[in-house]
Amino acid sequence: MEAVGSGDSGAMSGVWCKSLHSSGQRSIHDVSHPLSAEKEPLTPSPDPAATDGDKDLILPNGTQVETSSPVSSSSLLNRLQLDDDLDGETRDLFVAVDDPKKHVSAMETYITYRVSTKTTRNEFDLPEYAVRRRYQDFDWLRNKLEESQPTHLIPPLPEKFVVKGVVDRFSEEFVETRRKALDKFLKRIADHPVLSFNDHFNIFLTAKDLNPYKKQALAFIAKVGESVKYVTGGYKLRNRPMEFAAMGDYLDTFSQKLGTIDRIAQRIVKEQGEYLVELQEYGPIYSTWSTVEDELSKPLDGMSNCVDNCCSSLEELTEDMSEDFLPVLREYVLYIESMKNVLRKRDQVQAEYETKLEAAAYKKEEKTVVPTNVEKCQDRVECFNADLKADWDRWQNNKRQDFRQLLTGMSDKNIQYYEKCLAAWESIVPLLQEKPDAKSEAHS
């Protein structure tokens, strides 16, 4: 298998950018993006984990109770008729991250993941690929995407570092959480109409060994605004479009709200863990007590079983919050930083255009034609605006879909938890109502 060679990954974006007119400054509202999808009703994806809790509960009296009521369990997700496809797009590239493996050498210990690809695209030599990648390979890919596609929003990666002594980065739970995040990272790129055609992404999916590509020097520098970032660093934009200012304000507010929810959710998970520890010590006490109370042994054993069932339900709920809810919140916190970074780059490009336009205006030359370098800057601004606007719409669609699925799943899990606890406590009532001397009265 021969890996596809690297090239100008920004070629696709540049082709349609050349078609933009440069005869005069246009409003962003007049610049349509050929890749932006029409908005359609959103139907979030089904969450297989949402049905994990749909199990019969064994009550203290030995009977099974179905906890999936018509208004709970997976019914909320089913009523939404969830669908994996985003905005009805036809997919021809599928990627998946699975099978984490631990590697131990004399120098380091690390985890690799299998990256599987299936595609019908012509730029791939084969229809299927399977390669192994470690975290730093994903980081290399993201850096290359930022370099070659500076006008686009690059999905975030999960944080590389963890606090020592708090999280074991080789634990099964941590590795699985990271695997899910890396899988989502690649899927978001594969679903993007521009990023998915990037040469570096192709290499990442197909090359058996990435080291030769990592060592290659950059053939070209595609960082928009690189040449003027020092000149325009303190420049104040004169005519920043209102919609981009609104984007910045929205991100600030969204970041604040999301950060608050994230902190509270982490505190809830911590308190649930502490409560779980207490329950695990609480239940066995009733079982021990029943051994010395013949007349109360049956209700006391039932009480112990009831608490055990509540423990299991709470443990499932806490795991769901830790493994499903919190990672999504964290991903969007990182997404906000990525979007702010793209907005800053856009402002740099506009600042370059304005400074060159002002410099041309100061020249006392009688020319009716706008200088070529100013026209090029204007085209870059329009190109950047169109790309950012399209990615903003896609990001908002993804966000609505992700949070609808997230909150629906969390609602289901909480309903299941309380249903199981209610059924467990209700089952012990008949045991408590039994009269110990009922048999003796019957004999008399």
Report the alpha-carbon angle 162-167-173, nearest 5: 115
Q: What pLDDT digit, counting tens, does each position of 140-153 carry?
A: 999 999 999 999 99
Sign of CA dihedral 336, 342, 344, 350: negative
Structure token pair of residue 314: 């709470």
| Long-range contacts of 372-376, Cβ-Cβ distance < 8 Å, separation of 24 or more | 375/22, 376/22
**3-class DSSP state of 130:** strand
Q: How many CA atoms lie within 13 A of 340 on its CB side?
A: 14
Cα–chain center distance at 442:
66
pLDDT given for residue 172 in this prediction: 86
Structure token pair of residue 310: 């509540």
Which residue from 32, 278, 3 is spatially nearest to 117, judged by alpha carbons? Answer: 3
pLDDT given for residue 357 in this prediction: 80
What is 90-225's CATH topology? PX Domain (3.30.1520)
At residue 166, what are phi and psi to the nearest 5 degrees? Answer: -105, -45
Strand 57-58 to strand 64-65: parallel, antiparallel, or no bridges (unpaired)? antiparallel
Q: How far apart are CA 92 and CA 90, in angstroms?
A: 7
Domain 237-432 has CATH 3.30.2310.20: no
pLDDT given for residue 90 in this prediction: 62
Structure token pair of residue 274: 């502490």
Which residue from 57, 10, 125, 24 is spatially nearest to 427, judged by alpha carbons? Answer: 57
| Low-confidence residues in the chain, pLDDT < 70 | 1-90, 161-167, 217-236, 362-371, 436-444
pLDDT given for residue 73 in this prediction: 41
pLDDT given for residue 60 in this prediction: 52
pLDDT given for residue 360 in this prediction: 75
Domain range summary for the chain, segments of one domain joined by + = 90-225, 237-432
Is the whole model's pTM more than 0.75, yes or no? no
In sequence order, what are the beta bridge partners of 169?
A: none
Report the alpha-carbon angle 134-139-145, nearest 5: 130
